[in-house]
Amino acid sequence: MLSARAWLGRVLLLPSAGAGLATSRRCPGVWPQTWPHRSPSRGSSSRDKDRSATVSSSVTMPAGGKGSRPSSTPQRVPNRLIHEKSPYLLQHAYNPVDWYPWGQEAFNKARKENKPIFLSVGYSTCHWCHMMEEESFQNEEIGRLLSEDFVSVKVDREERPDVDKVYMTFVQATSSGGGWPMNVWLTPNLQPFVGGTYFPPEDGLTQVGFRTVLLRIREQWKQNKNALLENSQRVTTALLARSEISVGNRQLPPSAATMNSRCFQQLDEGYDEEYGGFAEAPKFPTPVILSFLFSYWLSHRLTQDGSRAQQMALHTLKMMANGGIRDHVGQGFHRYSTDRQWHVPHFEKTLYDQAQLAVAYSQAFQISGDEFYSDVAKDILQYVTRSLSHRSGGFYSAEDADSPPERGMRPREGAYYMWTVKEVQQLLPEPVLGATEPLTSGQLFMKHYGLTEAGNISPSQDPKGELQGQNVLTVRYSLELTTARFGLDVEAVRTLLKMGLEKLFQARKHRPKPHLDSKMLAAWNGLMVSGYAVTGAVLGQDRLINYATNGAKFLKRHMFDVASGRLMRTCYTGSAGTVEHSNPPCWGFLEDYAFVVRGLLDLYEASQESAWLEWALRLQDTQDRLFWDSQGGGYFYSEAELGAGLPLRLKDDQDGAEPSANSVSAHNLLRLHGFTGHKDWMDKCVCLLTAFSERMHRVPVALPEMVRTLSAQQQTLKQIVICGDRQAKDTKALVQCVHSIYIPNKVLILADGDPSSFLSRQLPFLSTLRRLEDQATAYVCENQACSMPITDPCELRKLLHP
């Protein structure tokens, strides 16, 4: 079979040098080595990479972050994308390209006119998507080529992640790379025959231009169409075999002890002792890895490896929080760090990162008792509440990396977030009294956060010299060291730094803001419900739990179809802050159900409101009906009907920037079994884990969340039952005791004494548990065998955390 790489190399006469890689928001394994979009060189990576040019070619491009740029030109006539809701598609609505949204109209045109389909996939805060839009899709000549010789289709990968996953599988399989924008050429029957990512508009010394690619593909379609079709069919057949995940002849999942040990060893080998994290550069937060390490520590507390796992996770979280990947001025975390030190980030902020990191820092606080971690968790949620929240309770998707340094200027990566020494000196000129030397608030601030006159960004991260004098705030010294350096009081310095950050925050409000992707996704809203619910429960803050409740209410009101019981994937912010939907609606995918169910289970444990648990069970039933593979086990990513016509129906099989929906589903099933006793949930959990046995055996570190669930499944789940009135102080004291302890393998159940309640009907043994002397009483149960009654939170703590 002639591979796509070989085909492009032969047909396009591409150079043989290795292709450069770029970065992109949604790939869990992007490994750029330098500042986003500054350098033409890139490192190699795992399965999710962002390619600089055709995946099957040898083309180099600048490394890339993401950003938004004004893409519409008012004097031009809009194309049909003007009628779409997606912010990404609307950014292309004034291109001189005859764009179609993904759908039957485009497919019918391709078949009727016997033209190849040009599929371009991206998202609204993708830097290289915008670069290509400006350079190529706004080009009149390229627009004519795309409109006359191809049927051109634009897809927002966040609206249609199924389309993105299918064709990214092709791109990665034919190149070992991938990323966004993803550009793939398809037959009229939607089978891919060549693909890539970003293309520059014109040829360079080591680059093939997009116009050249289009001309060559047009020529080959006319002259060698049958060969292209045959090759496309062979590639599709091979991908079908390669992507199959099934129980096969296996009866049981693999040994949890073996998978745990191998996963930990692989992480240990890649761990950065000095700065934390698991790569040289770039470095990603990867909360799924931190969650695995905490779980591994709990089950190996008395061993050297257990202590090591705890240290790895806590140190990584501390270094991240002190680094430039954290927005010290406006809170929240950026997408990833471009260097080993967590110093210079790619500045995009995503909802799913904030949601998962809030949970990770809350768990770190549970384990360590160090308020440093709880403060970070609260800061994350402060940012989300202020900047990513819809007034009706939903949560927006992301803020861009790029913004104009000044109004009317071209957007630039990080412009909103960086500072010069002059700016800080002007904002913080006040003298500091009591210092051992003449000192202003600005000088103290710059010393603590590492600002210098020349700027603190390495020239290797700024090859064009665009960032001279610019600084990214990063904590260079502990509070104690900064205090000692100037002979000041710790609390005084803490106050001065806090006041300095607030002044910078107020000043930053006057800068042009990065683009806000106000699209709301059910999956990420589900993750955010978990973020608020878990953090609120751990810290005992009802205010945060209320935000989680409002998020769940938003999902039920705006993203749930009562008649069919299905979730909708997306909704959008309309004029005057209203909530709008596409017509027809975009229905949910597996991750929407899995992440929302997780959020609802976390919200039930935080609030003890059984209505959320009841809805979680109904959604799980719908998920099983729409996505479960009754023959091979596990869940497909998309509904069969929704994915009709796509050459593959995939199962999500990697925990990355977001956990795999199958990993989350396995854990949901385990918890649902604990809440209801329904054997079907446990059977499905075991079947799913068995289906993914080969994947876990091959590279357990690619599925740390699933390995964690495998361990939980092969242990005994604790059912912690609190008998009491939900609003009573003694009940709340026992509940808060449970939440203060890191116990990932448990369900928390409130038994209010009503035999007709939802949970009493699910778990009849609850009716046998009584309050002791009319006090709120706790029982710790395993396999429906319960401990002696406990009324004292201290005694409960001893039992749960010996």
Q: Could you write out the DSSP letters of every residue in 609-625?
A: -HHHHHHHHHHHHHHHH
**In this structure, what token pair is assigned to residue 637?**
């990513």
- Residue 438 — very low, low, confident or very high, per pLDDT cuts 50/70/90? very high
- Residue 74 — very low, low, confident or very high, per pLDDT cuts 50/70/90? low
pLDDT for residue 8 = 41
Give the percent of the chain with pLDDT over 70. 90
Strands (E), 530-612: 560-561, 566-567, 570-573, 579-580
Helix crossing, 210-223 with 225-242: angle to 10°? 110
pLDDT at 64 over 60: no
Residues in Cβ contact with 502 at an 8 Å cutoff, skipping those fewer than 6 apart: none
pLDDT for residue 501 = 98
AA letter at 454: A
Q: Which residues pair with 152 in a beta bridge?
A: 118
Give how far the C-alpha of residue 636 lies from the chain's centroid of Cα atoms, to the nearest Å: 19
Biggest CA–CA distance in the chain, Å, is 88
pLDDT for residue 388 = 98
Inter-CA distances, 727 with 530, 542, 609, 737, Å: 22, 12, 11, 15
pLDDT for residue 153 = 98
Q: Report whether the peptide linkage leading into residue 789 is cis, meaning its omega lies within 30 degrees of zero.
A: no
- Residue 75 — very low, low, confident or very high, per pLDDT cuts 50/70/90? low
- Residue 643 — very low, low, confident or very high, per pLDDT cuts 50/70/90? confident
- Residue 176 — very low, low, confident or very high, per pLDDT cuts 50/70/90? low
pLDDT for residue 71 = 44
Who wins on pLDDT, 10 or 395?
395
pLDDT for residue 618 = 98
Who wins on pLDDT, 21 or 244?
244
Residues in Cβ contact with 585 at an 8 Å cutoff, skipping those fewer than 6 apart: 561, 568, 569
Choose the weakest-confidence range: 170-174, 358-362, 531-535, 791-795.
Answer: 170-174
Q: How far apart are CA 190 and CA 188, in angstroms?
A: 5
- Residue 63 — very low, low, confident or very high, per pLDDT cuts 50/70/90? very low
Q: Quick one: residue 30, left, alpha or beta (phi over 0 = left, psi -120 to 50 = alpha)? A: beta
Average confidence (pLDDT) over 435-450: 97
CA trace torsion 179, 288, 86, 139 (10° rounding) = -20
Q: How many residues does the chain have?
A: 802
Buried b / exposed e over 77-99, threshold 16 CB at 10 Å, is eebebeebbbbbbbbbbbbbbbb
pLDDT for residue 640 = 87
pLDDT for residue 50 = 35
**What order do you get walking across the sheet with 516-517 strand by strand?**
349-350, 398-399, 516-517
Residues in Cβ contact with 36 at an 8 Å cutoff, skipping those fewer than 6 apart: 22, 23, 63, 64, 65, 66, 127, 338, 346, 401, 413
pLDDT for residue 577 = 86
pLDDT at 40 over 60: no
Q: How far apart are CA 433 and CA 436, in angstroms?
A: 9
**In this structure, what token pair is assigned to residue 299?**
């089950």
Cβ-contact 602, 545 below 8 angstroms: no
Choose the weakest-confidence range: 123-132, 378-387, 390-399, 704-713.
Answer: 123-132
Cβ-contact 129, 66 below 8 angstroms: yes
DSSP characters for 174-228?
TTS---SSEEEEE-TTS-EEEEES---SS--SS---HHHHHHHHHHHHHHSHHHH
Who wins on pLDDT, 44 or 469?
469
pLDDT for residue 784 = 73
- Residue 38 — very low, low, confident or very high, per pLDDT cuts 50/70/90? very low
SS3 content of the chain, % helix, strand, coil (to 5): 45, 10, 45
Q: How far apart are CA 413 and CA 195, in angstroms?
A: 27
Who wins on pLDDT, 189 or 463?
189
pLDDT for residue 5 = 37
Dihedrals φ, ψ of 649, to 5°? -120, 110
Taking the model in full, what pTM does it have?
Answer: 0.91
**What order do you get walking across the sheet with 151-156 strand by strand?**
100-101, 151-156, 117-122, 182-186, 192-196
- Residue 466 — very low, low, confident or very high, per pLDDT cuts 50/70/90? confident
- Residue 320 — very low, low, confident or very high, per pLDDT cuts 50/70/90? very high
All structural domains of the chain, each given as residue ranges with its CATH number in brackets, are 80-243 (3.40.30.10), 417-510 (no CATH), 716-801 (3.40.30.10)
Arithmetic mean of pLDDT over the chain: 90
pLDDT for residue 381 = 98
